């Protein structure tokens, strides 16, 4: 058995774990990262694509955005299609902030490339990862690699191991509430070797269902299609997927061309939030603490925000002996998590007609979408949530007053 000693043991080398470890190292705090998959797998895994302005600023501030600034696609806005109409919502005109298209695996590649070449603190292909001692002062992470048992002794553990990881499961159930919501929709996602459908993202709401035409690069498209959560894989042969995409995106007959499908995934639309996001010396970060339906593209953005807040709380502890920010990590993050969760839920219901939607529902949805596309305060409020600016602002003065002491 081999024993390693570090200040922070990070479980999971997704964007959250790698960013946390990067920030810690930049401020002189030592960490060891333990990852279940191989490096090749992480660099290939296609997931998020849309980054908010705040995320890009975070990456720039950490010296991680050189390639993003060269190759990322800056989008001033997006198209909203419904009822045979095309509206354009420009977040740059509305609130002065664009969004960026840059694949999650590219963020991961940049984070891996930024580590020193002789980096011995990153362990891939870890098997049987287990967390122990989180209620004491000496927590540890044990795993097996190449047949050898390794134990990482640390002061703190950052659980950045996604929705199916071991971190959240290591917290006693009596000390954690996991709020969940399964939406009655799934998405089929296609990665297609063809130029993007339009120069900007197209969110399209059709009586047949929702479709989204996104992209990864000028040569690669990402297309999504709403399906019913009860559907079987066999209900969706390729022919039907393309036909629905064209209809829902309002593509004319003569312009219906297919591209080569490089990858196809099925994405269940669901949400979870674990409260609190910490227990003893274990802190949950990113998808380990919360997942969002992908509609509003919040998961990666909120995950990196969590990682940044936790990194600075840990740096405060090790460099200045501050306990407050670490103790307050969960309380600091949960309002932002719920805000993103609320927007994601609202957008999911707005964009996805239910299987039993009536003509009334459809007309009402059209009225909501029309209001959204009208320049004015609701478009500004929408843009604020879409680019995540609302989460970065201090809370506005509330009109809600305490009822304590009021006469009945």
Partner in contact with 300, chosen from ligand RFL, ligand PHB, none, beta carbon below 5 to 8 Å by kind: ligand RFL
User: Catalytic residue at 203?
Assistant: yes
Confirm or reject binding of residue 302 to ligand PHB (CB under 6 A): no
Residues with Cβ within 8 Å of 333's Cβ and at least 6 positions away in sequence, in order, are 277, 289, 305, 306, 309
What does the per-residue mask of binding to ligand PHB show for 327-346, with x meaning CB under 6 A? --------------------
Cβ proximity to ligand PHB, 31 vs 344, nearer residue: 344
Residue 254 Cβ, how far from ligand PHB at the closest point, in Å? 27
Give CA–CA dist 93/69, Å, rounded: 21
Number of neighbouring beta carbons within 10 Å of residue 395? 8
Confirm or reject binding of residue 214 to ligand PHB (CB under 6 A): yes
Give CA–CA dist 135/328, Å, rounded: 17
Partner in contact with 14, chosen from ligand PHB, ligand RFL, none, beta carbon below 5 to 8 Å by kind: ligand RFL
Give one DSSP letter per residue of 305-374, joined into a string: HHHHHHHHHHHHHHHH---HHHHTHHHHHHHHHHHHHHHHHHHHHHH---TT--HHHHHHHHHHHHHHHS
Residue nearest to ligand PHB (CB): 49
Residue 8 Cβ, how far from ligand PHB at the closest point, in Å? 30
Give one DSSP letter per residue of 144-157, joined into a string: EETTEEEEEE-SEE
What does the per-residue mask of binding to ligand PHB show for 265-294, with x meaning CB under 6 A? -----------------------------x
Partner in contact with 33, chosen from ligand PHB, ligand RFL, none, beta carbon below 5 to 8 Å by kind: none
Q: Can you tell me which residue has the tokens 């081999």?
A: 2
Partner in contact with 379, chosen from ligand PHB, ligand RFL, none, beta carbon below 5 to 8 Å by kind: none
Confirm or reject binding of residue 388 to ligand PHB (CB under 6 A): no
User: Catalytic residue at 116?
Assistant: no
- Could you tell me which residues are beta bridge partners of residue 51? 100
Please state the separation of Cα 115 from the chain's center in Å: 23
User: Catalytic residue at 386?
Assistant: yes
Residues annotated as part of the active site: 75, 203, 294, 298, 386
């Amino acid at each position: 058995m081999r024993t390693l000693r570090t200040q922070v043991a990070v479980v999971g080398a997704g964007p959250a774990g790698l960013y946390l470890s990067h920030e810690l190292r930049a401020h002189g705090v030592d960490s060891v990262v333990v990852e279940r998959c191989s490096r090749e797998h992480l660099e290939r895994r296609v997931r998020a694509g849309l980054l908010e302005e705040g995320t890009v600023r975070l990456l720039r501030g950490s010296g991680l955005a050189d390639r993003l600034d060269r190759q990322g696609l800056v989008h001033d806005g997006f198209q909203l299609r419904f009822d045979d109409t095309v509206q354009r919502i420009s977040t740059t005109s509305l609130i002065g902030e664009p969004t960026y298209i840059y694949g999650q695996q590219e963020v991961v590649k940049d984070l891996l490339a930024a580590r020193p070449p002789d980096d011995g603190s990153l362990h891939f292909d870890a098997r049987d990862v287990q967390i122990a001692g989180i209620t004491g002062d000496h927590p540890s992470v044990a795993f097996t690699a190449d047949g050898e048992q390794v134990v990482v002794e640390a002061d703190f553990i950052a659980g950045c191991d996604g929705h199916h990881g071991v971190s959240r499961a290591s917290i006693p159930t009596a000390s954690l509430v996991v709020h969940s919501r399964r939406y009655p929709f799934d998405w089929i996602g296609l990665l297609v070797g063809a130029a993007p459908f339009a120069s900007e993202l197209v969110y399209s709401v059709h009586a047949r269902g929702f479709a989204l035409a996104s992209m990864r690069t000028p040569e690669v498209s990402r297309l999504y299609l709403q399906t019913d959560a009860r559907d079987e894989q066999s209900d969706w042969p390729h022919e039907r997927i393309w036909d629905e995409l064209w209809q829902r995106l309002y593509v004319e007959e003569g312009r219906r061309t297919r591209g080569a499908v490089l990858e196809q995934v099925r994405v269940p639309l669901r949400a979870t939030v674990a409260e609190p996001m910490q227990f003893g010396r274990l802190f949950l970060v990113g998808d380990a603490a919360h997942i969002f339906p992908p509609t509003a593209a919040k998961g990666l953005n909120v995950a990196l925000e969590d990682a940044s807040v936790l990194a600075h709380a840990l740096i405060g502890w090790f460099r200045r002996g501050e306990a407050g920010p670490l103790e307050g990590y969960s309380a600091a993050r949960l309002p932002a998590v719920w805000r993103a969760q609320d927007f994601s839920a609202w957008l999911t219901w707005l964009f996805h007609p239910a299987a039993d939607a009536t003509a009334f529902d459809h007309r009402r949805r059209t009225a909501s979408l029309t209001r959204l596309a009208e320049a004015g305060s609701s478009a500004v409020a929408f843009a604020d949530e879409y680019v995540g600016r609302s989460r970065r602002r201090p809370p506005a003065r509330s009109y809600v007053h305490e009822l304590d002491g009021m006469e009945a």
